[in-house]
Amino acid sequence: MADFSLYKISNQKQSIISVATVVLTASVCYLFSDYFGYRNIALILLFVVSILATFMNVFPLLMAAVLSALIWDYFFIPPKFTFHVESAEDILMLGMYFVVALVNAILTNRIRKAEKEANEKEEKEKIIKLYNTLLNSLSHELRTPIATIIGATDTLQENEEKLDIASKKTLVSEISTASLRLNQQVENLLNMSRLESGFLQLHKDWCDVNELVYKVVNEVQANTANRHFDIQIIESLPYFKLDFGIMEQILYNLLINAVTYTPEDTAIHIKVTRFDSDEISLMEPDNAKTKLVIVIRDEGKGFPEEEITKVFDKFYRIYTHKTGGTGLGLSIVKGFVEAHGGSIRLKNSSAGGAEFTIAIPTETNYMNALKNE
């Protein structure tokens, strides 16, 4: 309820704060006691104790409750400046005040503790559910490529003399593809760990986006068949100050996602621009820096509209897809883009398929680009 509160402060400090609060409130009330009346002042002091109950531990609360009752008796109930109470009605009211203040303090404190325990339990259940999802995904995602590698290796070892060159190349290709898939899952886990721990540090330098895009496309293309990559990069693009390795991972995850979830004979479109009003308008305005805008569009079925807002969540997978996955790839992409101060949006393209738009505000440098021409 109030974790920002004084709950984490030691009892000694809480006691000082509670006493100071009651004394300050009583002092203000004393100045205006002729206007408020001593019975209304009892309600004010009781209200202050109730407020303290939402922040304090039990002992400082009991101290505040007892102190407020004694102050009210000594300074406000006639005759003043004595603990003697003449009126039977005032004696009853003082007793009721004391009981209500104590019960209110204890019950409020217990409610707060119960609320905190319930929140902690709910948070633990969420974490357990997330990690169960991760372990279930990993048990499949790691076991499948490992089984492929073991199976292909056994076949090569047992039938080395019987297999022709084409069959051997096919088996080696299967081992290579499975190894890359295995490596990708491990990379995703390591990257998510870096994001979760807050240890991700960007090492920005001047990057040639042409080189970045073609490097990633070549890596993906080497392990995919029947795929055409349509690349459009505007001319005279400057160098951008980015973390090359992190940007490489962003593009790789998005392209692998496109390759995995779309038909084999379809194209994947990549567009890189600097000041394109169509793409920039999709993002939050940022006039301080130039935006690097990268749009990746596939020719698949796109995403169900109700799923679009969830695809960047950790461990989230669309269960209509049968290709599996840990549900970390797009979450990592979002984390890496935001680490650059950028944003990423997903929509279903009017031309068909899913369209990811990345916009990253960054410094530019034409001098480095000119030197390399």
Residue 214, pLDDT > 90, answer yes
Average pLDDT over residues 134-152: 73
pLDDT of residue 225: 65
- Report angle CA 47, 114, 4 to the nearest 5 degrees: 65
Residue type present at position 115: E
Task: Please tell me the least confidently modeled range out of 182-186, 239-243, 252-256.
Answer: 182-186
pLDDT of residue 329: 74
Q: How confident is the model at residue 231 (pLDDT cuts 50, 70, 90)?
A: very high
Q: Give pLDDT tens digits for 328-354.
A: 678 888 888 988 889 999 999 888 889
Domain range summary for the chain, segments of one domain joined by +? 1-199, 205-371
Q: How confident is the model at residue 356 (pLDDT cuts 50, 70, 90)?
A: very high
Residue 304, pLDDT > 50, answer yes
| Phi–psi pair at 320, nearest 5 degrees | -75, -15
Average pLDDT over residues 197-224: 85
372 alpha carbon, distance to own chain's centre: 39
pLDDT of residue 369: 53
For strands 354-362 and 267-273, give the pairing.
unpaired
Q: Which two tokens stand for residue 72?
A: 């009210």
Q: Give pLDDT tens digits for 260-299.
A: 888 888 889 999 998 644 444 444 444 446 789 999 999 8
Average pLDDT over residues 215-230: 82
Average pLDDT over residues 181-200: 71
Question: Which of 356, 204, 333 is closest to 279 using CA atoms?
Answer: 356
> Who wins on pLDDT, 210 or 317?
210
Q: Above pLDDT 70, what percent of the chain? A: 81
pLDDT of residue 283: 45
> Who wins on pLDDT, 136 or 296?
296
Q: How confident is the model at residue 192 (pLDDT cuts 50, 70, 90)?
A: low
- Report angle CA 20, 22, 27 to the nearest 5 degrees: 90
Q: Above pLDDT 90, what percent of the chain? A: 14
> Who wins on pLDDT, 275 or 185?
185
pLDDT of residue 279: 42
- Per CATH, 1-199 and 205-371 having the same topology is answered no
Q: Give pLDDT tens digits for 63-90.
A: 888 888 889 888 988 888 888 888 888 8
Residue type present at position 290: T
pLDDT of residue 275: 63
Place of tokens 């929140």: 119
Contact 241, 368 (CB under 8 A): no
* Highest mean pLDDT, choosing among 50-64, 179-193, 208-222, 272-286: 208-222
List, in order, residues 6 or more apart from 255 with CB less than 8 Å away.
216, 217, 220, 268, 270, 296
Euclidean distance between CA atoms 192 and 333, whole angstroms: 10
pLDDT of residue 139: 64
Residue 201, pLDDT > 90, answer no
| Phi–psi pair at 355, nearest 5 degrees | -130, 115
Class of the CATH domain delimited by 1-199: mainly alpha
Domain 205-371 has CATH 3.30.565.10: yes
Q: How confident is the model at residue 373 (pLDDT cuts 50, 70, 90)?
A: low
Average pLDDT over residues 176-195: 74
Task: Please tell me the least confidently modeled range out of 10-14, 188-192, 201-205, 329-333.
Answer: 188-192
Euclidean distance between CA atoms 342 and 243, whole angstroms: 13
Euclidean distance between CA atoms 48 and 34, whole angstroms: 20
Residue 184, pLDDT > 50, answer yes
Task: Please tell me the least confidently modeled range out of 156-170, 172-186, 204-218.
Answer: 172-186
Residue 233, pLDDT > 80, answer yes
Rg (CA), the chain: 33
What are the Cα distances from residue 273, in Å, to 107, 230, 296, 308, 351?
61, 14, 12, 24, 19
DSSP secondary structure letters along 29-66: HHHTHHHH-HHHHHHHHHHHHHHHHTT--HHHHHHHHH
For strands 239-242 and 290-297, give the pairing.
unpaired
Q: Give pLDDT tens digits for 5-43.
A: 455 577 788 888 888 999 999 999 988 888 888 888 888
